[in-house]
Amino acid sequence: MIPTDDIRMASDRIADRYDRHAALEQEVGRRLFDRIAFQRDEPEAIVDLGCGTGAGAAALKKAFRKSQVAALDLSAGMLARTAKRSRLTRPIRPIQANAMALPFRRHSVDLVVSNLAVPWFSNPSRFLGQVLRVLRPGGMLLFSTYGPESLEQLHQAITAAGMDCAVPGFTDILEIGDALTAAGFREPVMDVDRITLDYPSLSALAEELDATGTSLLIEGWPRCRKQLESLERHWPAKDAGGRVPLSFEILYGAAFGPPEGQPMRTDRGEIATFSVDSLLKSRTMG
């Protein structure tokens, strides 16, 4: 996995130009938020994990005006942009932290949202465990991530050109569904989308991968970057006008936190937790 410090420093570098290039991330975010219809109750506390420049957090605050919205990211540069979206009437709370160690109390969050940030999390199983810890019973996790057919044309061009770099093997939809169930989430729902972008040239495509940080996921990308002419010669399916396509498989997931007392899988085995109120209530009823 990519070292945390590398992700943080790269995000700081691109923060000021990210929004001008993040068409894919913004479109996926809009499609992701359409799925909030799964949310059964008005959330009191919402967390946007891997918030980037805060577009998603601002949209969540607009949709749920009475909710407390926290926007969490590793990058101070990204959070500085997020803070500019906060308004007196629609405040957003920026938090610099690692998703592997969420700085929230147990059972304190109603809705956790993460748009295309999962591929950067160093330990997806630990991430799910952290979300489950902070999610209230019945609370909702909503996320998007890349599927294994993402960057398909880039993979084909790299292979045809014989370059020493590689597109990552993203997790497929069945594995993610299984991971949600294994972690202890209830009623996981997964679906898939395919989005193809096209660019006037491969250099424009490469600039966008760099400006959104996506290139950090590609092993050996600096070597590929120096051989764009060779990559372009081997690029599949260019249209008659010479435009360069690049496809992304987008996976969307929604799942709910378990009721109190259901065991959760952790590094220390399965742990069941109860609130004092629920224990007192059950004792009184007994």
Q: Mean pLDDT for the chain?
A: 90
pLDDT at residue number 278: 45
Confidence at 269, pLDDT banded by 50, 70, 90 = low
In a domain, 244, yes or no: no
Mean pLDDT of 220-230: 94
Q: How far apart are CA 128 and CA 133, in angstroms?
A: 9
Q: Does some domain include residue 60?
A: yes
Answer yes or no: is 140 within a domain: yes
- Lowest average pLDDT, out of 157-161, 199-203, 263-267, goes to 263-267
d(CA 45, CA 47): 7
In this structure, is residue 78 part of a structural domain? yes
| Within a domain: 279 | no
Residues 199 and 10: their CA atoms lie apart, in Å, by: 23
Residue 23 lies in a domain: yes
Q: Which domain holds residue 76?
A: 4-148+169-196+249-258
- The pairs formed by 33-38 with CB atoms below 8 angstroms and a separation of 24 or more are 33/59, 33/60, 33/63, 33/113, 35/142, 35/252, 35/254, 36/63, 36/111, 36/142, 38/140, 38/142, 38/189, 38/254
Question: Total domain count for the chain?
Answer: 1
The predicted model scores a pTM of 0.88
Distance between terminal CA atoms of the chain? 50
DSSP state of 166: B
Residue 122 has pLDDT above 50, yes or no: yes
What is the C-alpha R_g of the chain? 20
pLDDT band at 275 (very low <50, low <70, confident <90, very high): very low
State the Cα–Cα distance between residues 59 and 49, nearest whole angstrom: 14
Distance (Å, whole) CA 162 – CA 146:
24
In percent, the amount of the chain with pLDDT more than 90 equals: 81
Residue partners of 147: CB distance under 8 A and separation at least 6? 170, 171, 172, 173, 192, 249, 250, 251
DSSP-assigned letter for residue 108: -
Task: Give me the pLDDT at residue 40, please.
Answer: 64
Going by the DSSP 8-state scheme, the letter that residue 268 receives in this structure is T
Question: Other CB atoms closer than 10 Å to residue 101's CB: what's the count?
Answer: 8
Q: What is the pLDDT of residue 39?
A: 64
pLDDT given at position 261: 62
Q: What CATH number does residue 69 fall under?
A: 3.40.50.150
Of 206, 246, 63, which Cα lies nearest the Cα of 142? 63
Query: What is the separation of C-alpha 100 from the centre of its chain, rounded to a whole number of angstroms?
Result: 13
Looking at the domain assignment, is residue 56 inside a domain? yes
- How far apart, in Å, are the Cα atoms of 209 and each of 22, 25, 144? 9, 11, 18
pLDDT (tens digit per residue) in 86-101: 998 899 999 999 999 9
Neighbours of 136 (CB within 10 A): 18
Please say if the pLDDT value at position 49 is more than 50. yes
Q: Is residue 53 part of a domain?
A: yes
